[in-house]
Amino acid sequence: MRHPVRPAGRFLHRLRAHLCQGGLIAYPTESSYGLGCLPDYVPALRKVIALKKRPQHKGLIVIAADFSQLQSLLAPLTTTEITTITQQWPAPRTLLLPVRRRQVLPALRGRGRQTLAVRIPDLATARFLCRAVGRPLVSTSCNRAGKKACRTEREVRRQFGRRVMILSGRTGGRKQPSQIVDWVSGKRLR
């Protein structure tokens, strides 16, 4: 079942319902397809982790259309910090930012971590998807742990079959995944 990456009308309603019921989606990002779900829904997060066979101590990345979609997940930041952060986006740059502990599930941030990996994607279609859904989305590479990330719809279908709703589209063509930078230390982790 193919779906356009720029959903409209009836499909947008189906997409929102699918996500609200814990469904998973695969969609184009800057370098590959991303595997996503709503970031505050535990059963969906568990499905992503199980489907990828990902170690549970690792956190997941959350993408958004703009910074306002992320603010409820993050610890309060000063106006200067927000300005500095938002000037770096949209870009293939993921930042580890301090988290609001009670609002962010351990499965999302990673066991024992006090930060959350967040990004405003460089790829306009990924931002459009978050805007259309009205929420941020989990964005982990669409692959099983240790395998190459899926760069086409066909590769997604081969690895995951019908376990995910695929939103068709072209990736941004980048060869490498986004950088990951710890905001507090400035250290580049990927």
Contact of 58 with 189, CB cutoff 8 Å? no
Average confidence (pLDDT) over 102-114 = 80
Per-residue pLDDT reduced to its tens digit, 125-143: 999 999 999 999 999 999 9
Cα dihedral value 174, 63, 59, 186, nearest 10? 70
| pLDDT higher at 103 or 74 | 74
Per-residue pLDDT reduced to its tens digit, 83-94: 999 999 999 999
Report the percent of the chain where pLDDT is more than 90. Answer: 75
From the centroid of its chain, how far is CA 189?
17
